[in-house]
């Protein structure tokens, strides 16, 4: 079990840091924060959350670690970058993956990892917003597969806290430009197409830009030091990266989520603690429909308001291939029938402006995984109060009348945000106490 394993083959610097940890056995386990799509802001946007995260701790504050990964990269690439950002070393995307997706096997070399003592004995908590959630699940899956060698073990991930995470895909990617019938192809002149071109331009001039604009395209050789202007123009015409299967847009399609689940990716590890926070900003449109529309209160966030309306009336029957959760037999008989006729449940249309709530719950359907859906925060029942958390179960918390950015990363100091971080601090402490009792 965690905390009961000897340390072997550690470098001098790592041994020194491990010794420092052992000198104070009461030091809280650090929290790694993984940001979502286009997320590279770091602590300055997240604000004074640590004050509330640490309020329940009597002594040493919990260390938080912001990790920089590719803001538009695939889940596989982001997971690899996350691992080496913590451990140090040269990022290794794997032989098979790099050959399939036609990029270099190795990325940047990280001289000093942010937590090189990371091991089953010294695990880490992980917290993620949006795309960061499935990134952590991919990381744990790659560890299970032995991608990082025999020294890595799934129990290095002690806990996972996901907020508004698109575990099972999102309709928003089709609004941005992904083709419903031919993903990963992108519609010309769509926002997604324009964004892909912007990514290539930023990657081309990357050596001249500050870290906030780092696209992590090292393995693709996209800078002006590596390719000519002619090569850049070809990619602007049709991007091998943005319109390929090895990038964020495809990974948040329902097709990609089904492919991950069919390979059993996302099965809970029996020694890891999981919780998700599910936000939604919509209401059922009519009593006899499952369709949803956003509350007028959220018009103050116009982009979220517009995308929320799109997600709330999305017609799943237009997707090819059909998602696994869609009643395909009925669709084949009459593809023109509206989705509401299939009574799929309003969780497929209720959303936070970016992700439908069924996708925020956890990887896999509730029939396929172990989960416990908790009452709304208004009932004063949450994962931080009452029962002791158990590993291997997804605890699902609901954040009513909240959009994709209400909790994190944009700090506004609201009572909702303060309460979230207070409860998270208690949850992490409860997990650590349970871990100590197990050991």
DSSP letters, 126-149, are EEEETTHHHHHHHHHHHHHTTTT-
Note the pLDDT of residue 387.
64
Note the pLDDT of residue 338.
45
Clarify whether residues 134 and 40 are in a common domain.
yes
Q: Which residue has the higher pLDDT, 23 or 237?
A: 237
Say which CATH number the domain at 358 has: 3.40.50.1820
Clarify whether residues 150 and 228 are in a common domain.
no
Give the residue among 337, 356, 338 at the shortest CA–CA distance from 348.
356
Note the pLDDT of residue 11.
44
Cα–Cα distance for residue pair 186/366, rounded to 1 Å:
32
Clarify whether residues 231 and 275 are in a common domain.
no
Domain stop point among 323, 348, 373 = 348
67 touches 30 (CB < 8 A):
no
Clarify whether residues 98 and 27 are in a common domain.
yes
Cα–Cα distance for residue pair 149/318, rounded to 1 Å:
42
Domain stop point among 302, 331, 348 = 348
Would the pLDDT of 430 be above 80? yes
Clarify whether residues 58 and 133 are in a common domain.
yes
Clarify whether residues 201 and 92 are in a common domain.
no
Note the pLDDT of residue 249.
92
Domain stop point among 348, 364, 398 = 348
Q: Is residue 273 part of a domain?
A: yes
Q: Is residue 429 part of a domain?
A: yes
Note the pLDDT of residue 317.
93
Note the pLDDT of residue 45.
82
- Kindly give, in sequence order, each residue whose CB lies less than 8 Å from that of residue 219, ignoring residues fewer than 6 positions away: 77, 91, 93, 98, 103, 104, 105, 106, 107
Q: Tell me how far the alpha carbon of residue 150 is from its chain's centroid.
A: 25
Q: Compute the average pLDDT of residues 363-384.
A: 72
Q: Is residue 27 part of a domain?
A: yes
How far the first Cα of the chain sits from its last, in Å, is 6
Note the pLDDT of residue 336.
46
Q: Compute the average pLDDT of residues 269-297.
A: 89
The DSSP bridge pattern shows strands 292-294 and 282-284 to be antiparallel
Q: Compute the average pLDDT of residues 3-18.
A: 41
**CB atoms inside a 10 Å sphere around CB 5:** 13
Note the pLDDT of residue 307.
95
Would the pLDDT of 191 be above 60? yes
Clarify whether residues 20 and 155 are in a common domain.
yes
305 touches 427 (CB < 8 A):
no
Q: Is residue 23 part of a domain?
A: yes
Q: Is residue 68 part of a domain?
A: yes
Clarify whether residues 191 and 307 are in a common domain.
no
Q: What is the pTM of this model?
A: 0.88
Note the pLDDT of residue 141.
97
Cα–Cα distance for residue pair 195/180, rounded to 1 Å:
18
Banded pLDDT at 47 (limits 50, 70, 90) = confident
Lowest mean pLDDT among 114-123, 182-191, 295-304, 392-401: 295-304
Cα–Cα distance for residue pair 244/260, rounded to 1 Å:
16
110 touches 88 (CB < 8 A):
yes
Cα–Cα distance for residue pair 237/252, rounded to 1 Å:
23
Token pair recorded at residue 51 = 């004050």
Would the pLDDT of 181 be above 70? yes
Q: Cα angle vertex 163, ends 186, 140, to 5°?
A: 80
Note the pLDDT of residue 15.
47
Q: Domain limits at 155?
A: 12-170+257-282+354-438
Note the pLDDT of residue 64.
95
Note the pLDDT of residue 324.
93
Would the pLDDT of 262 be above 90? yes
Q: Which residue has the higher pLDDT, 114 or 58?
A: 114
Note the pLDDT of residue 23.
44
Q: Which residue has the higher pLDDT, 15 or 81?
A: 81
Q: Compute the average pLDDT of residues 187-191.
A: 89
The count of structural domains within the chain is 3
Q: Compute the average pLDDT of residues 46-67.
A: 91
pLDDT in tens, 311-360: 999 999 999 999 999 986 544 444 444 444 456 889 999 999 999 999 99
Q: Residue 385: in which H helix or E strand, if any?
A: none
Clarify whether residues 278 and 141 are in a common domain.
yes
Q: Is residue 5 part of a domain?
A: no
Token pair recorded at residue 41 = 């802001």
Give the residue among 108, 30, 40 at the shortest CA–CA distance from 68.
40
Distances (CA, A) of 2 to 87, 123, 391, 430, 439: 18, 8, 12, 15, 7
**CB atoms inside a 10 Å sphere around CB 145:** 12
Banded pLDDT at 123 (limits 50, 70, 90) = very high
Mean pLDDT across the chain, nearest whole number?
86
Cα–Cα distance for residue pair 432/438, rounded to 1 Å:
10
Banded pLDDT at 12 (limits 50, 70, 90) = very low
Within a 13 Å sphere around the CA of 74, how many CA atoms are in the beta-carbon half? 23
Note the pLDDT of residue 232.
83
Clarify whether residues 82 and 159 are in a common domain.
yes
Task: State the burial class of residue 110 (Cβ atoms within 10 Å of its Cβ: 0-12, 13-18, 19+).
Answer: middle
252 touches 170 (CB < 8 A):
yes
Clarify whether residues 91 and 154 are in a common domain.
yes
Clarify whether residues 380 and 420 are in a common domain.
yes
Q: Cα angle vertex 253, ends 249, 255, to 5°?
A: 135
Lowest mean pLDDT among 5-19, 86-100, 292-306: 5-19
Q: Compute the average pLDDT of residues 46-50.
A: 90
Q: Is residue 428 part of a domain?
A: yes
Q: Is residue 100 part of a domain?
A: yes
| 3-state secondary structure (DSSP) of residue 17 | helix
């Amino acid at each position: 079990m965690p905390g009961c394993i000897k340390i072997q083959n550690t470098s001098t610097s790592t041994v020194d840091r491990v010794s420092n940890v052992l000198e104070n056995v009461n030091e809280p386990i650090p929290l790694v924060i993984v940001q979502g799509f286009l997320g590279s802001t770091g602590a300055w946007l997240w604000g004074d959350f640590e004050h509330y995260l640490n309020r329940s701790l009597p002594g040493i504050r919990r260390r938080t670690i912001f990790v920089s990964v590719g803001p538009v990269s695939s889940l596989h690439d982001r997971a690899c970058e996350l691992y080496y950002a913590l451990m140090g070393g040269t990022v290794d995307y794997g032989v098979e993956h790099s050959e399939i997706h036609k990029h270099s096997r190795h990325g940047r070399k990280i001289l000093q990892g942010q937590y090189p003592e990371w091991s089953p004995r010294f695990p880490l908590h992980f917290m993620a917003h949006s795309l960061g959630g499935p990134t952590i699940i991919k990381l744990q899956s790659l560890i299970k597969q032995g991608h990082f060698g025999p020294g890595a073990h799934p129990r290095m991930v002690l806990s996972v806290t996901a907020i508004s995470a698109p575990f099972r895909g999102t309709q928003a990617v089709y609004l941005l430009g992904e083709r419903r019938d031919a993903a990963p192809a992108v519609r010309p002149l769509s926002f997604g197409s324009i964004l892909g071109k912007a990514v290539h331009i930023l990657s081309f001039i990357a050596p001249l830009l500050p870290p906030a604009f780092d696209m992590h395209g090292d393995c693709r050789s996209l800078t002006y030091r590596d390719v000519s202007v002619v090569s850049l123009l070809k990619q602007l015409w049709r991007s091998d990266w943005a319109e390929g299967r090895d990038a964020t847009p495809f990974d948040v399609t329902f097709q990609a989520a089904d492919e991950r689940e069919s390979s059993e990716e996302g099965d809970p590890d029996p020694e890891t603690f999981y919780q998700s926070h599910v936000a939604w900003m919509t209401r059922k449109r009519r009593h006899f429909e499952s369709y949803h529309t956003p509350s007028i209160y959220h018009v103050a966030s116009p982009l979220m308001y517009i995308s929320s309306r799109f997600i709330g009336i999305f017609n799943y029957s237009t997707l090819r291939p059909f998602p696994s959760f869609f009643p395909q037999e009925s669709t084949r008989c009459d593809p023109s029938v509206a989705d509401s006729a299939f009574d799929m449940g309003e969780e497929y249309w209720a959303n936070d402006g970016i992700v439908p709530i069924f996708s925020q719950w956890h990887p896999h359907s509730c029939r396929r995984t172990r989960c416990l859906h908790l009452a709304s925060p208004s009932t004063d029942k949450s994962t931080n109060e009452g029962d002791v958390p158990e590993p291997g179960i997804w605890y699902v918390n609901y954040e009513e009348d909240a959009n994709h950015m209400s909790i994190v990363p944009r700090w506004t100091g609201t009572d909702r945000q303060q309460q979230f971080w207070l409860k998270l601090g208690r949850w992490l402490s409860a997990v650590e106490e349970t871990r100590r009792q197990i050991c």
